[in-house]
Amino acid sequence: MKPKRSAKPKPKPKPKPMPLSVVILAAGQGKRMNSRLPKVLQPLAGRPLLRHVLDAARQLKPAGLHVVHGHGGEAVRAAIGDNGIRWVQQAQQLGTGHAVMQAMPQIPDDHLVLVLYGDVPLLAATTLQELVALADARTMALLTVRLADPTGYGRILRDARGQVKAIVEQGDATAAQRRISEGNTGVMVVEARRLRGWLNKLRNHNVQGEYYLTDIVAMAVKDRVAVRAQIAASEPEVLGVNDRRQLAQLESVLRTRRAEAAMLAGATLADPARFEQRGELVLGRDVFIDINVVFEGRVELGDGVRIGPGCVLRDMKVGADTRVFANCVLEESAIGAGCHVGPFARLRPGAALADGVHIGNFVEVKNSRIGKGSKANHLTYLGDSDVGEKVNVGAGTITCNYDGANKDRTVIGDGAFIGSGNMLVAPVTIGENATTAAGSTITREAPPGKLTVARARQVTIEGWQRPVKRERK
């Protein structure tokens, strides 16, 4: 008889992750910016500093998102909006500990609290996820950084075993402590119940007369709560912004990051140092981007697109194998495949170019649909228009779409030929395969397949003399 096998012990169930509340401190005035804008609204890559922090925080899917505001709070709220944010006012700026206190009444005891800063915009969501994973009800997680020059940072004090025991601020540090290169980023994760108790014990007996959030680290050690430090992968990731020099430094860091990402996605950059991405960029394969091109909002570039130097693209979709020549400004529009645009062309909101369209130098298109294979190659304005397929629009043509009060549409049928220097006074229709003579002012329908001429009769005045200037006495 075979012996019975002993039952395997059941694995212990993994503890349920604690809900996360994020507190972003954004109350600083930022006097060193020398600006009317609150510091957290200063633009980095075309977007407010605070919005970069919010984007990273939202990737953690927190149960609560709290922003502590102070100086210019109404302007901050108006610029950012209330999209899932719980706004908390810090009427007096009495330090980081005091700022976190303002948010705590809204946070349940069983949450983890992640503290971030509205002027530290380059923290990666992956870094924050790793930090949050270190924390639980019995463990505080702290983000630190190795600094070439730690001046201005709180220093991380460790015991003989290398465990974090406290943080000392620059102004309160001894000469020996100031030589420590490991600095505090201020970013931490703490259980809300413990955090609430420690915040209530804070005192402002320091050089600045402020309630330092960092003082809770020593309290945690005293209460035998483990303090686990995660050292940031790089110094730029945790850099804050206090003046415009530092803002420019972070612009350079972010520009390099985004240029590298674009090249890894398959784009060729003529000069990565002169590449400006100020939003979301979706790239096909074999895209070429020349120098000094600026991308704003969401821009999609299809396979084989080539963008010439000095262009600005804002909220654009560009089809495969399209060429955008130098110095074009394109916004809130869509371009089909195989098009040519520019140089010096402008697409305004609502322009839609079908495949194979040519929009040439000094041509402006606004709120208009341009059909497949149509061309407007020189010095033309097409506004509020519906242009059919294989239409040729001559140089100097203008759709007169605005009468000073209302806007009307111009409709041009397939195969039409619009002569140079035409004024098309909307509302007006040009029929299929119609031709309008150069210099015409079209105010009524031009019939399909016919030549329409609408210009004054040429007259030569005999005996006319050009005026001459009077001699001054």
With a cut of 80, say whether residue 351 has pLDDT above it: yes
Using CB atoms within 10 A of its CB, is residue 15 exposed (0-12), middle (13-18) or buried (19+)? exposed
Mean model confidence pLDDT for the chain: 94
Per-residue pLDDT, 178: 93
For residue 40 the two structure tokens come to 């957290």
For the segment 280-291, the average pLDDT, to the nearest whole number, is 97
Instruction: Assign 470 a pLDDT band (cuts: 50, 70, 90).
Output: confident
CATH numeric code, 20-238:
3.90.550.10
Check: pTM over 0.75? Answer yes or no: yes
For the segment 56-79, the average pLDDT, to the nearest whole number, is 93
Query: Of all helices (H) and strands (E), which one includes residue 188?
Result: strand 182-191
Q: Are 191 and 135 contacting, i.e. CB atoms less than 8 angstroms apart?
A: yes
Identity of the amino acid at 396: G
Per-residue pLDDT, 8: 63
Q: Are 158 and 184 contacting, i.e. CB atoms less than 8 angstroms apart?
A: no
For residue 125 the two structure tokens come to 């969501």
For residue 473 the two structure tokens come to 């006495």
Catalytic residue among 66, 98, 205, 378: 378
C-alpha–C-alpha distance, residues 122 and 415, integer Å? 53
Selection from 353, 303, 14 nearest residue 328 by Cα: 353
Per-residue pLDDT, 169: 87
Q: Are 367 and 350 contacting, i.e. CB atoms less than 8 angstroms apart?
A: yes
Per-residue pLDDT, 71: 74
Selection from 115, 106, 118 nearest residue 80 by Cα: 118
CATH numeric code, 244-452:
2.160.10.10
Per-residue pLDDT, 1: 54
C-alpha–C-alpha distance, residues 258 and 279, integer Å? 10
C-alpha–C-alpha distance, residues 397 and 381, integer Å? 6
What beta strand segments (E) does 284-409 contain?
288-289, 293-301, 306-307, 312-318, 323-324, 329-335, 340-341, 346-347, 352-353, 358-366, 369-370, 375-383, 385-387, 392-393, 398-400
C-alpha–C-alpha distance, residues 247 and 288, integer Å? 29
Per-residue pLDDT, 9: 64
Per-residue pLDDT, 390: 98
* Chain-centroid distance, C-alpha 3: 68
Tell me: the pLDDT tens digits for 395-431?
999 999 999 999 999 999 999 999 999 999 999 999 9
Per-residue pLDDT, 4: 58
Tell me: the pLDDT tens digits for 13-31?
666 789 999 999 999 878 8
Q: For residue 170, what is the DSSP state?
A: G
C-alpha–C-alpha distance, residues 327 and 345, integer Å? 7
With a cut of 70, say whether residue 307 has pLDDT above it: yes
Selection from 404, 372, 363, 366 nearest residue 385 by Cα: 366
Per-residue pLDDT, 323: 98
With a cut of 80, say whether residue 5 has pLDDT above it: no
Domain boundaries, the chain: 20-238, 244-452
Tell me: the pLDDT tens digits for 67-77?
999 878 889 99
CA torsion sign for 228, 234, 237, 240 is positive
Tell me: the pLDDT tens digits for 111-136?
999 999 999 999 999 999 999 999 99
C-alpha–C-alpha distance, residues 415 and 372, integer Å? 11
Which contacts (CB < 8 Å, 24+ apart) does range 258-267 have? Answer: 258/45, 262/289, 267/301
C-alpha–C-alpha distance, residues 396 and 419, integer Å? 9
Length of the chain: 473
Per-residue pLDDT, 65: 97
Q: Is 358 designated active site?
A: no
Using CB atoms within 10 A of its CB, is residue 218 exposed (0-12), middle (13-18) or buried (19+)? middle
C-alpha–C-alpha distance, residues 154 and 307, integer Å? 46
CA distances from 408 to 44, 117, 165, 205, 456 (A): 40, 50, 73, 71, 25
Tell me: the pLDDT tens digits for 34-52?
999 999 999 999 999 999 9
Per-residue pLDDT, 182: 94
Per-residue pLDDT, 257: 94
Tell me: the pLDDT tens digits for 174-233?
999 999 999 999 999 999 999 999 999 999 988 888 999 989 999 999 999 999 999 999
Per-residue pLDDT, 13: 63
Place of tokens 């201020």: 186
pLDDT over 70 for what percent of the chain? Answer: 97
Per-residue pLDDT, 93: 85
With a cut of 60, say whether residue 2 has pLDDT above it: no
Give the DSSP per-residue string, 375-435: EEEEEEEEESEEE-TT-EE-TT-EEE-B-SS-B--EEE-TT-EEPTT-EEESSEEE-TT-E
